[in-house]
Amino acid sequence: MDSITDSLEDKAIGYAKVNAQLKADAASLKEEETRLHDRRVAIENKQKLLKEALSQAMIETDQRKFKTPLFSIYIQKNPVKMVISDRDKIDKNYFHNEEVLDSSALKDDLKAGKQVDGAELQQTESVRIR
């Protein structure tokens, strides 16, 4: 029986080592995701500024359309957009009433022993490696 326990202990140590490496890999990937996200946002901002500068120059010179062998560049009207200037003045018929579950209050009541149809507390277990 001791050999089985020792074998399981060795296996658990191996699992813990692999888990530690996977955790480090995930952290490294998360850092890379953040770096790439920041780079993408910077490039998108440069693209937006470039288009705004071109648009402004075209409007100021009253040249609203260019056609070249490589590109067709023109200023086009966007679809109309709605702007809410005073939300309080809008008729209530345009609002939806949505029921939102107060999960924290429900959990507190369940912990206090209150019976609530459709909800219950469940105790689960998981392996912790430190």
Structure token digits, residue 68? 């070249």
Q: Is the Cβ–Cβ distance between 63 and 75 less than 8 Å?
A: no
- Mapped onto helix, strand or coil, the DSSP state of residue 40 is helix
How far is residue 98's CA from residue 2's CA, in Å, rounded to a whole number?
A: 60
> Quick one: DSSP state of residue 89?
G
Q: pLDDT digits over 60-98, tens only?
A: 999 999 999 999 999 999 999 999 999 999 988 888 888
Helices (H) then strands (E): counts for the chain? 2, 2
The pTM is what? 0.62
Which stretches in the chain have pLDDT values below 50? none
